[in-house]
């Protein structure tokens, strides 16, 4: 793949993305400052910036289902035997649970120290509460109708894989793909041989398409950021500055302290080298706010730029795009406690430990789409008797924070693939010929 210079020019793609980011952000802020109510600005956002961003996002989402299916089938087939699959699966699960727990703990400590929900001036509180009632209700409804408890577990197994794919139930699609991969690994017939070849073809085509789509990224990044900043401005950031600061600080600790330590000690890779190689995925995550939309880029980075054994990269990154969300879990914890502080609901240590557990599960269960964690937060709020409409308080700044937490989510998948992949054999041969014996 030629992604680093994609676009035909001499400049590297990630630099073009950075320029797109700066142009979009600054352009949007300037327009918001000077022309906030101008009709032409609304027209520009609605008919130019939004559609350009949407074209890019839709092209990425279009590839997610075929990519998840083919990557997981191939990942399992290439891992080859049940013993290795069990080992890699276990390492991945351990990684997800332990690193997500660390993330939530960082969030809870920071929010307890800064207490962003306490001491807001009365007037500002009233404005925020009025906004919350207006905007929070739809999300609360979504949170209430989401399955919980035993249904959540049962839904991992799809009754109808096609329906699951159509409804975007990615965990169910993953389960189906994993089962298919296991079946194709243990059954070595002429038919399964061809099936795996077809998956290889689908996977290769998806990566080629993403190579083309990603050339649009710099323009899409500019358009997406322009829409966001031109609509939001910075007023809303100032209102919720302490909350925003708390989330960004905690995410920063996880990103700049925890990840490098894990890379050094468990992954034996220099963090600088890692960040340089991961730039395309980091910029895509930041600008799309979607782990799923970033998945094609994540897979490309793991395989081609970080040198992760490809069967491990496919397995860890694909599962991770939905199940390994460090940034999301951390954000959920902070938001629940922020709203508890705001509404004066005391949460004892035991209850906070419960919040921790729920957020780790929330990180696994939230969808990898913009705002995917909001219904989960609404659900947790209800459990602790905190007014769930409070979620509306933070909607104004959610997009910005979503960009940051998605970056942490995707980076966590890549760090995980480096760590899990260390010591695993490089997959070199032809996939189909390497299929394990029955």
How far apart are the C-alpha atoms of 74 and 72, rounded to whole Å? 5
Residue 277 CA to residue 274 CA, distance in Å, equals 5
The footprint of ligand ASP on this chain (CB under 6 A) covers a number of residues equal to 16
Options 89, 218, 368, 416; binder of ligand ASP; rule CB under 6 A: 368
The nearest distance, CB 372 to ligand ASP, in angstroms, is 4
Under a CB-based contact definition with an 8 Å cutoff, are residues 410 and 281 in contact? yes
Residue 328 sits in the site that holds ligand ASP (CB under 6 A): yes
Gap between the terminal Cα atoms of the chain: 34
| Chosen residue from 229, 406, 411, 417 binding ligand ASP by CB under 6 A | 406
Please give the backbone phi and psi of residue 399, each rounded to the nearest 5 degrees, phi first. Answer: -60, -45
In angstroms, the CA 333 to CA 345 distance is: 15
Among 53, 370, 375, 392, binds ligand ASP (CB under 6 A): 370
Instruction: Check residue 290 for interaction with ligand ASP (CB under 6 A).
Output: yes
Binding to ligand ASP (CB under 6 A): which residues in 186-225? none
Task: Please report whether residue 92 would count as binding ligand ASP according to CB under 6 A.
Answer: no
CB of 77 or CB of 96, closer to ligand ASP: 96
Asked if 292 contacts 170 with a C-beta cutoff of 8 angstroms, the reply is yes
Does 318 sit near ligand ASP (CB under 6 A)? no
Alpha helices in 254-394 (DSSP H): 259-262, 271-288, 291-300, 310-323, 326-342, 349-365, 374-383
The minimum distance between CB 403 and ligand ASP, in angstroms, equals 8
CB of 104 to ligand ASP, least distance (A): 13
Q: Which window, 21-29, 348-356, 398-406, 423-431, contacts ligand ASP (CB under 6 A)? A: 398-406
Q: State yes or no: residue 170 binds ligand ASP (CB under 6 A).
A: no
Task: Kindly state the DSSP code that residue 422 receives in the 8-state scheme.
Answer: T
Query: Of the two residues 85 and 377, which places its CB atom closer to ligand ASP in the complex?
Result: 377
Which contacts (CB < 8 Å, 24+ apart) does range 185-192 have?
A: 185/76, 185/77, 185/79, 185/80, 185/81, 185/82, 185/85, 185/435, 185/436, 186/82, 186/436, 186/438, 187/438, 188/435, 188/436, 188/437, 188/438, 192/435
Q: Which of 225, 300, 366, 386 binds ligand ASP (CB under 6 A)?
A: 366
Least distance CB 370 / ligand ASP (angstroms):
5
Distance CA 43, CA 50 (A): 10
Q: Is 413 in the site for ligand ASP (CB under 6 A)?
A: no
Give the shortest CB-247-to-ligand ASP separation in angstroms: 11
Binding status of residue 246 toward ligand ASP by CB under 6 A: no
The H or E element containing residue 195 is helix 190-213
Among 32, 289, 298, 311, binds ligand ASP (CB under 6 A): 289
Angle (CA) 364 365 371, round 5°:
105
Using the contact rule CB under 6 A, the part of the chain among 41-49, 227-235, 308-316, 404-412 near ligand ASP is: 404-412
324 binds ligand ASP (CB under 6 A): no
Q: Which parts of this chain interact with ligand ASP (CB under 6 A)? A: 289-291, 325, 328, 366, 368-373, 402, 405-406, 409
């Amino acid at each position: 793949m030629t992604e680093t210079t994609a676009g035909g020019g001499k400049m590297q793609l990630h630099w073009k993305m950075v320029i797109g980011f700066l142009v979009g952000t600054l352009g949007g802020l300037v327009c918001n400052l000077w022309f906030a109510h101008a009709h032409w600005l609304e027209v520009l956002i609605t008919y130019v910036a939004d559609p350009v961003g949407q074209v890019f996002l839709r092209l990425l989402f279009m590839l997610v289902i075929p990519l998840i299916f083919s990557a997981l089938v191939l990942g399992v087939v290439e891992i080859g035997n049940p013993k290795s699959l069990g080992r890699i699966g276990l390492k991945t699960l351990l990684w997800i649970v332990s690193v997500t727990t660390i993330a939530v703990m960082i969030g809870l400590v920071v929010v307890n120290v800064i207490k962003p929900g306490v001491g807001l001036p009365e007037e500002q509180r009233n404005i925020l509460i009025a906004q919350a009632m207006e905007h929070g209700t739809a999300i609360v409804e979504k949170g209430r109708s989401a399955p919980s408890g035993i249904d959540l577990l049962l839904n991992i197994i799809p009754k109808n894989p096609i329906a699951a794919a159509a409804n975007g139930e990615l965990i169910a699609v993953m389960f189906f793909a994993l089962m298919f991969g296991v079946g194709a690994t243990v059954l070595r017939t002429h038919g399964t041989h061809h099936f795996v070849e077809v998956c290889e073809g689908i996977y290769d085509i998806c990566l080629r398409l993403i190579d083309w789509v990603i050339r649009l990224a710099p323009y899409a990044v500019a358009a997406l950021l322009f829409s966001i900043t031109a609509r939001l401005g910075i007023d809303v950031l100032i209102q919720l500055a302490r909350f925003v600061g708390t989330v960004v600080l905690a995410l920063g600790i996880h990103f700049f302290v925890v990840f490098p330590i894990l890379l050094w000690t468990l992954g034996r890779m220099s963090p600088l080298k890692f960040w340089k190689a991961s730039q395309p995925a980091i910029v895509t995550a930041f600008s799309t706010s979607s782990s799923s939309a970033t998945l094609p880029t994540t897979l490309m980075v793991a395989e081609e730029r970080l040198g992760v054994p490809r069967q491990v990269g496919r397995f860890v990154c694909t599962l991770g795009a939905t199940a390994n969300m460090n940034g999301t879990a951390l954000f959920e914890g902070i938001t629940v406690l922020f709203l508890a502080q705001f509404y004066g609901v005391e949460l004892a240590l035991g209850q906070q430990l419960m919040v921790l557990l729920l957020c780790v599960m929330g990180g696994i269960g939230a969808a990898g789409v913009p705002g995917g964690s909001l219904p989960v937060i609404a659900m947790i709020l209800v459990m602790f008797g905190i007014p769930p409409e409070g979620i509306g308080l933070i909607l104004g700044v959610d997009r910005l924070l979503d960009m940051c937490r998605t970056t942490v989510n995707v980076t966590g998948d890549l760090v995980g693939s480096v760590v899990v992949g260390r010591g695993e054999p490089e997959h070199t041969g032809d996939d189909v010929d390497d299929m394990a014996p029955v």
